[in-house]
Structure 1
Amino acid sequence: MAAERRRVAVTGGAGFIGSHLVDALVARGDRVVVIDNLSVGRRENLAHHLPSGRVELHVADVLDGDRLTPLFDGVATVFHLATQCIRVSLFDPELVHKVNTEGTLRVLTAAVAARIRRFVYVSSSEAFGSAKTVPMSEDHPRDPTTIYGASKLAGEHYTMAFHRTYGLETVIARPFNTYGPRAHFEGAYGELIPKSVVRILSGRPPLIFGDGEQTRDFTYVEDTVRGILLAGDSDLVGESVNIARGEEVTVNRVVDLILRECGRADLRAEHGPDRPADVRRHYGDISRARRELGFAPLVDITDGIRRYVHWFRDAYPDIGAVAAQEQPVNWQPIPK
């Protein structure tokens, strides 16, 4: 399907990946309807677009199905990214189920009611669980280890069911571990790379849970977004596609790269207990994305860390003002 300049909707569009997707959609000429309840996303991630009128921000919840259908009026494509994260699922599984599973069902239902042509479900490599074989192709067994992973897999199944039942053109884009500007470092939403940068720049040792030899396929956000856009414009209707760098990297190596980029090789990582249900190995096979989409990731982990640290220093010149927002063990509720 050739890309058209059109009206599109992005759920979770004020969040980390979602706001970068909005940037890319606007850059190619689309008008974007953002649906976000701002529980995780930030209005400031879209502030540079709002005065132009090219982006509409609707503060709404994906669980409010009655609200969604009119917001989809005139929309050609829905990109569904609204989600609650893996660490929240460890202490509030019901919330994650509601947002990720029930929310996806309601967005799909609203899309059919609004006669949406194309629906792009942005899933997660966590739907696979830990690697049984590598690299992990789209046909890799799905055996999630967390409620989050299970909820994303349920969303995949709902998406496929709507394609088969209602004829909705669906594509499942499955990103691996995305990082880059606007990634969360605060509270339960904080990810390894931004959390480590905050700790190191504030003079504290980075914190690794487990031995650090667990691996991830870290993918720079610009590459992830380009892959999602290509998937959305592709002929992969009723199919899924992995979006990743295609490189297996240990947590220990990532932390070492951050230490060097921050100029704090004097610090040494501290190790804590394993995170519950943590996957041991992730390494994506992106052969389908290369072949069917012409996808080619451009940013390797060394360059990506360099870019992120540079952005972070500019965005947060007063590290002391944000350091307290980093929660060391962020899969447990903050004591009241």
Structure 2
Amino acid sequence: MPGNPAVPIAGNRFCIVGGASLVGSATAAELLDHGAAEVVLFDNFAFGSDAAIAHLRDHPRLRLVRGDVMRMADLLRATEGMAGVLQLAAYMTLSMDRDPWSGLDVNIRGVQNALEACRASKVAKVVFASSNATYGYGPGVAGELVESTPFHSQGAPPAAILYGATKIIGEQLCRDAHRKWGQDYVVLRYSTVYGERQHYRAANALYIIETLEKVRRGESPEVFGDGSETKHFVYVGDLARANRMAFESAATDVAVNTSGPAPMTTLQLVEMVTELAGGGPAPRFVGNAPGKVRLTSGGAFRIAHEAAFAAIGWKPEVDMKEGLRRLIAWRDSNEGKAA
């Protein structure tokens, strides 16, 4: 598929696989705002929800296609005539913990199916949603995490390692497609995504919602360990912009981090949520609940996003306090209460 890897948004058609989601709905709005001729949201609604896309349903250039990444015929219909495909559909860690076999199917065979459909439909460019889970979890994850940082698995929950491993495999399937038939692609390694229309599928993002709800009930929010554990978040609007810029850029055959402006500790996060919620009880320091999947990061680390700026011109713009303020305002809105 020779030619310029850049795919302009205006006038082109795009398919978002796993589109009825937090990132999918935000990216659809971003592409429509920049003149996309059509955006197709492809989803089987196993994890996606009508609430996530309710604000877009009446848009004249948006089309919803119910389908499954495990059915090639569904993907072929959805990708026909598309200039770009954003591959989001995946089991995340909490879902992988409940049903690892289905998670492996969707996160590996589902990605391969999507890539094969893109080849058949002559899609110009694929953007693959990977994760900072490709670096693993535990004590080995420390310091500056750059795109060449190796995978660490010691001491982490099996579901988290299975999830990270499937993202590594998905990236390599993209590389293989580029090598074998010239499929242009960009891999974006998302940090934990948060923002309006927040879902309940990501362990670290769920922690934000759980903390907010405890504070609102007048209960002490829980802080695990001594609160010094590092967490990395990226605001969903920034990530939607990264997805758009990945299509528009001349970059191909690359994988880059898309992280928020700065890391923060668990204690800082809880204190910030409490402050933005209008105050509440002091946090309670607790140990780990038996059997509960929780992603421990190990030592202090920073997920570097400078390579994303070099490759696609992107850097995060929304800091954590502003992003949390927007999330809480949405939760307090009529739409947020109904979600």
What's the TM-score bracket when you normalise by the shorter of the two chains? 0.7 to 0.9
CA shift, 1:277, in A, is 5.9
> What residue number does 2:66 align with?
59
CA shift, 1:53, in A, is 2.7
SS in 1 for 2:31: helix
CA shift, 1:294, in A, is 2.3
What code does the residue aligned with 2:110 have? G
SS in 2 for 1:29: coil
Q: Is the 8 A contact 2:125 2:183 kept in 1?
A: yes
Cα deviations by residue, 1:31-68 (Å, 9 ceiling, x for unpaired) = 10110111111123223333233111111111111211
SS in 1 for 2:286: strand
Question: Which residue, 255, 258, 261 being the options, matches 1:243?
Answer: 258
TM-score of the superposition, structure 2-length normalised? 0.87
> What residue number does 2:3 align with?
none
What code does the residue aligned with 1:284 have? I
The more displaced of 115-124 and 266-275 is 266-275
SS in 1 for 2:95: helix
CA shift, 1:133, in A, is 4.7
CA 1:310–1:51: 2 relative to 1, 3 Å: closer
Taking the TM superposition and a 5 Å limit, the aligned residue runs for 1:172-251 are: 172-185=187-200, 191-251=206-266
> What residue number does 1:42 align with?
49
SS in 1 for 2:145: coil
CA distance in 1, matches of 2:99, 2:82: 33
CA 1:85–1:211: 2 relative to 1, 3 Å: farther
Say how many residue pairs are matched.
320
The answer as to 2:15 corresponding to 1:9 is yes
CA distance in 2, matches of 1:210, 1:97: 31
What code does the residue aligned with 2:268 have? R
Taking the TM superposition and a 5 Å limit, the aligned residue runs for 1:126-145 are: 126-130=133-137, 132-143=141-152, 145=156
The answer as to 2:29 corresponding to 1:23 is yes
The more displaced of 102-111 and 274-283 is 274-283
CA distance in 1, matches of 2:286, 2:266: 11
> What residue number does 2:166 align with?
151
CA 1:116–1:298: 2 relative to 1, 3 Å: same
CA shift, 1:186, in A, is 7.4
CA distance in 2, matches of 1:99, 1:184: 19
CA distance in 2, matches of 1:119, 1:234: 12
Q: Is the 8 A contact 1:12 1:35 kept in 2?
A: yes
CA distance in 2, matches of 1:71, 1:10: 9
Gap runs ≥5 in structure 1: 323-336
What code does the residue aligned with 1:196 have? T
Q: CA RMSD in A?
A: 2.3
Q: Is the 8 A contact 1:76 1:117 kept in 2?
A: yes
Q: Is the 8 A contact 2:135 2:164 kept in 1?
A: yes
What code does the residue aligned with 1:156 have? E
The answer as to 2:188 corresponding to 1:168 is no
The more displaced of 114-123 and 87-96 is 87-96
Taking the TM superposition and a 5 Å limit, the aligned residue runs for 1:242-281 are: 242-273=257-288, 275=293, 278-280=296-298
Q: Is the 8 A contact 1:124 1:152 kept in 2?
A: yes
CA shift, 1:135, in A, is 2.2
CA distance in 1, matches of 2:22, 2:336: 20
SS in 2 for 1:95: helix
CA 1:315–1:40: 2 relative to 1, 3 Å: farther
Taking the TM superposition and a 5 Å limit, the aligned residue runs for 1:89-100 are: 89-100=96-107
CA distance in 2, matches of 1:81, 1:160: 17
Q: Is the 8 A contact 2:234 2:260 kept in 1?
A: yes
CA distance in 2, matches of 1:138, 1:71: 32
Gap runs ≥5 in structure 2: 1-5
CA 1:38–1:188: 2 relative to 1, 3 Å: farther
SS in 2 for 1:48: helix
CA distance in 2, matches of 1:111, 1:143: 32
CA 1:317–1:43: 2 relative to 1, 3 Å: closer
Cα deviations by residue, 1:265-316 (Å, 9 ceiling, x for unpaired) = 3242352317466332552111112233222321111222222112211146
